[in-house]
Amino acid sequence: MCRYYAHTHSCGHTTTIFAAYCASGALVQRPCHGGEIWQTLKMDHVCSACQTDSAKAKGKAGLATAGRR
């Protein structure tokens, strides 16, 4: 089984990042499906999906109040 890092973000989402091939995966240079979590890392920031969602929400709020003074 190939090894992965698990990044646990402050928003609660977890993403996996490839770390190392297993013996059979190394032969074809492709990570196998599934895999083993090598290490879990706690991240201080939200994931990219939540960051994009909050930026969109801020942009919509900014457009709604842009004409008001």
Contacts of 1 (CB under 8 A, 6+ apart): 22, 32, 34, 35, 36
Domain ranges of the chain: 3-63
Q: How many CB atoms lie within 10 A of CB 46?
A: 16
Residue 14 is predicted with a pLDDT of 94
Instruction: Compute CA distances 54 → 31, 46, 57, whole Å.
Output: 32, 10, 5
Q: Considering only CA atoms, which of 13, 6, 1 is closest in space to residue 47?
A: 13
pLDDT in tens, 2-51: 999 999 999 999 999 999 999 888 888 888 877 899 999 999 999 888 88
